[in-house]
């Protein structure tokens, strides 16, 4: 479903950014030759520290960024050549992308449904389903800027799934949520997996990755240093749990960079 081949993404830095990041090079490799694939009915987890390049990879998949080199296909469509088709089949959630605070969850849901070319009846059906699941009905007519963080996140998730996409890409979906809300989100991701969707999530929470993901790719400094099932990773690194495995790899690869 999602096929990333040798993805490299290079950002050009301005002088100001160079000073901020204390580097003398005017380019930054946010993603360095990354290849991975996520299949139908599978949750793939991208695990890495802040700034490792997880969001860059996901943004490339979501057609918001174009790869510098390499290629990405989603449901057989190239993200650069057929971005429109790709966008039809994906849901992309990240905390920098927000819903218009002036509107209610219901208005936003209907608005994005129509932008996806759905008819009103289908939109109503999807809305009932998703709003009931996430418990949005109680605050569906309130303005989004009056909602709590958890409510906002639930609304964002529901809206991002309005068109029942085949591929779901969630960037740190449980960030800032209490455990009850976080649990309902991860449970829904499992449900999506059972429905046969391909799901990619990024996270820096080890326990979440352990419990949720069928396969995990570990990204450090823009490079995918290992991927596989949890047991494969533990076996390879000779560790007991994911956190230890991650630190083994982190010690090894962040040294290389320095």
Partner 1 sequence: MNGAKQIIKKELTRVFTDKKLVISLFILPAVLIIGIYYFMGQMQTAMVNEIEKHVSTIDIQNVPEDFKETLASLKFDAHIQYLEPDEDLTAVKKDILNGTTDLLVVFEEDFLNKVSTYETGGVIPEVKTYYNNSEDYSNAARNNFVDTVLSAYQQKLLKERFEDIDQLTVFRVDVDPESSVIVDDKKAKGKIFGILLPYLITLMLFQGAMSLGIDAITGEKERGTMASMLLTPLNRREIVVGKLISVSILAGLSAAVYAVSMVFAMPVMVSGFGSDSLEGLSLKFSAVQVAELLVILAVMVYLYVAIVALASVLAKTVKEASAFVSPILIIVLVAGMATMFSGNEEKSLGMFAIPVYGNAISIQNILTGELTPVQFTATVGGTLLLAVILTVLITKAFNSEKVMFNA
What is the contact surface with partner 1 in residues (CB under 8 A)? 11, 59, 62-66, 84-85, 87-88, 90, 92, 96-103, 107, 111-112, 114-117, 159
Shortest Cβ 129–partner 1 spacing (Å): 20
CA distance 212 to 45: 8
* Stated length of the chain: 258
Q: b/e string for 217-246 if b means 16 or more Cβ within 10 A? A: bbbbbbbbbbbeebeebbeebebeebeebb
Q: Which is nearer to partner 1, 62 or 218 (CB)?
A: 62
Q: How far is the CB of 168 from partner 1 (least distance, A)?
A: 13
CB distance 11 to 207 below 8 Å:
no
The DSSP call for residue 258 is -
Q: List, edge to edge, every strand of the sheet that includes 90-93.
A: 90-93, 167-171, 198-203, 42-47, 215-220, 223-228
Q: Residue 102 Cβ, how far from partner 1 at the closest point, in Å?
A: 5
> Among residues 63 and 174, whose Cβ is nearest to partner 1?
63
Residue 32 Cβ vs partner 1, minimum distance, rounded to whole Å: 16
Minimum CB distance to partner 1, residue 15 (Å):
15
CB-wise, 42 or 171, nearer to partner 1?
171
Rounded to whole angstroms, the Cα distance separating 200 from 4 reads: 12
What are the angstrom distances between the C-alpha of 180 and each of 35, 43, 177, 213, 249? 34, 21, 8, 19, 31
The three-class DSSP label of residue 178 is coil
Instruction: Output 104 or 174, the one with its CB closest to partner 1.
Output: 104
- Closer to partner 1 at the Cβ: 96 or 138? 96
CB of 46 to partner 1, least distance (A): 18
Q: How many other CB atoms are there within 10 angstroms of residue 76's CB atom?
A: 11
Q: Name the residue nearer to partner 1 (CB basis): 90 or 249.
A: 90
As a whole number of angstroms, the distance between CA 175 and CA 47 comes to 14
């Amino acid at each position: 479903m999602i096929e990333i081949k040798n993805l490299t993404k290079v950002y050009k830095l301005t002088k100001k950014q160079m000073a901020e990041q204390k580097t003398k090079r005017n380019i930054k490799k946010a993603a360095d030759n990354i290849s991975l694939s996520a299949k139908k009915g599978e949750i793939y987890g991208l695990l890495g520290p802040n700034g490792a390049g997880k969001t860059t990879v996901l943004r490339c998949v979501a057609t918001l960024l174009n790869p510098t080199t390499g290629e990405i296909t989603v449901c057989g469509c190239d993200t650069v050549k057929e971005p429109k088709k790709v966008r039809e089949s994906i849901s992309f959630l990240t905390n920098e992308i927000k819903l218009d605070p002036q509107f209610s969850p219901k208005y936003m849901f209907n608005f994005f449904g129509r932008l996806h070319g759905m008819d009103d009846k289908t939109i109503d059906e999807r809305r009932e389903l998703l709003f009931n699941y996430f418990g949005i009905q109680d605050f569906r007519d309130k303005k989004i800027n009056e909602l709590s963080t958890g409510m906002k996140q639930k609304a964002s998730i529901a809206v991002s799934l309005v068109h029942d996409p085949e591929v779901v890409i969630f960037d740190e979906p449980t960030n800032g949520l209490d455990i009850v809300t976080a649990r309902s989100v991860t449970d829904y991701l499992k449900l999506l997996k059972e429905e046969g969707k391909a799901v990619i999530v990024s996270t820096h929470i080890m326990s979440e990755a352990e419990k949720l993901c069928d396969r995990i790719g570990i990204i450090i400094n823009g490079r995918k240093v290992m991927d596989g099932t949890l047991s494969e990773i533990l076996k390879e690194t000779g560790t007991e749990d994911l956190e230890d495995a991650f630190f083994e790899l982190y010690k090894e690869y962040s040294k290389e960079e320095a």
